[in-house]
Amino acid sequence: MNDDFVTAGVNLQFSYAAGAAASRFLCALRDEQKIFGARCPECRRVLAPARSFCPRCFVETNEWLEVGPGGTLGAFVAPPFAQLLEPTLTLALIQLDGADTALVHRLGEFDAPMLRRGLRVVPVFAASRRGHILDLAYFKPVELDNAHSI
Amino acid sequence: MTELLKISHTMHLEWRYGVGASFHEFIAALRARAQLLGRRCPSCQRVYLPPRPVCGNCYVELRDWVEVRDTGTVRAFTIVHTPIIDPTTGARRPSPYTMALIQLDGADTTLNHYLEASDPTKLRIGMRVRAVWRAPRTGLLGDISHFTELTDE
């Protein structure tokens, strides 16, 4: 060890109950490769990912519906510090077709210059799925040739 | 009924920091010679261990190093019964265990460290203890594994 530096680390292990709504959402990702949203009976917004209640109206959601799979790229960022560990990591807000909220997820299979707000993206599912948000591995831009068909 | 999921995650945080001029010499002596260096205040004569760059009482810069022994006196202790996950290893630390504030011989401040005693009922404020060192040393206070009763005094 260098005299002038101390290197240390911690491993923080935690687990939490996903709850009824997130469990159902994640099981659909795992088993059906489908993305679900939930509609608020008050404001009629479709919240995706699906939530048990509307945080704006404070009422329980009662209607589940499939959203996407295609969506539109909103804000995106390549976090500089996270990129020290994972150089290709780019996070994005993705508004799935049929949803009124944006989902935070990762982007993949893209060249940085092609990224712009409004870009059409589609999900790529992981081959091995375990009931986790990364069962949906990432979103990738739609090939221009196929853009009209999505 | 929906299957209910549990999400498990391990967050690994690693860091590296410059120890600064004051701690540099402390670490070098600790690693090379298992020697504990404290710093003496030229104004109030208090010896700080771990060393500090400035006296907390006098606001005077500390420059003088003094050797502190690896034996000391228990000033306070607590027996911890709550099992904890050791943050450096991720493993559960066996409980109960004892934490103590130990004033090393030659120091005026106390050091927070683990205390292991053959018989926990014999723990007393004022009891004499000695450091148990790890090998090899890396130059951290963790090079002292724990403190134990000093019997041959």
Q: Which tens digits make up the pLDDT trace of A15-33?
A: 999 999 999 999 999 999 9
Residue B58 belongs to domain spanning: 20-149
Q: Is the ipTM of this complex over 0.95?
A: no
Residue A140 in any domain: the answer is: yes
**Best of A2, A6, A130, A132 to disrupt the B interface by mutation (most B CBs within 10 Å)?**
A6
Residue B82 in any domain: the answer is: yes
Whether the pTM exceeds 0.80: the reply is no
- Yes or no: say if A25 and B4 are a contact pair by the CB < 8 Å rule: no
Q: How far is A52 from A40, CA to CA, in rounded Å? A: 9
Q: How far is B89 from A126, CA to CA, in rounded Å? A: 31
A19 Cα to chain B: minimum distance (Å)? 6
Residue A28 belongs to domain spanning: 19-149
Comparing CB atoms, the residue among B3, B27, B28 nearest residue A23 is B3
Residue B135 in any domain: the answer is: yes
Centroid of chain to Cα B88: 15
Number of folded domains in chain A? Answer: 1
> Given this model, what pLDDT does residue A148 score?
52
Residue-wise pLDDT for B42-93, tens only, equals: 999 999 988 888 999 999 999 899 999 999 999 999 999 988 777 666 678 8
**pLDDT-based confidence at A1, cuts 50/70/90?**
very low
Which chain B residues have a beta carbon less than 8 Å from that of A26?
A: 5
Q: Higher confidence at residue B98 or residue B92?
A: B98
Residue type for position A36: F
Gyration radius of chain B's alpha carbons? 19
B12 touches chain A (CB under 8 A): yes
